[in-house]
Amino acid sequence: TDYVYQYANARVAALYKRSPAEMVGQRVEDIVGPERARQIEQEVPRTLAGERVVIERRIAAAPGRAALVMLVT
């Protein structure tokens, strides 16, 4: 199954240096890369099954800026 963005908010889109409109319709793997996409593909079925899933992600920052730690629920 290809996971495709149906929605992206401005904050998340900015993390990937895109606009929300640029992300919608794109495959997750094309935006986040194959390794991160595999992680997401393992998490989504759990949430669709009703499980409350909380994931902590560390996102690398531009030089001179602190890394971002994001909680995804």
The model carries a pTM of: 0.71
- Give the pLDDT confidence of 17-58 residue by residue, as tens digits: 899 999 999 999 999 899 989 988 988 888 889 988 888 877
16, 45, 48, 54, 64 from 51: Cα distances, Å: 27, 9, 7, 10, 38
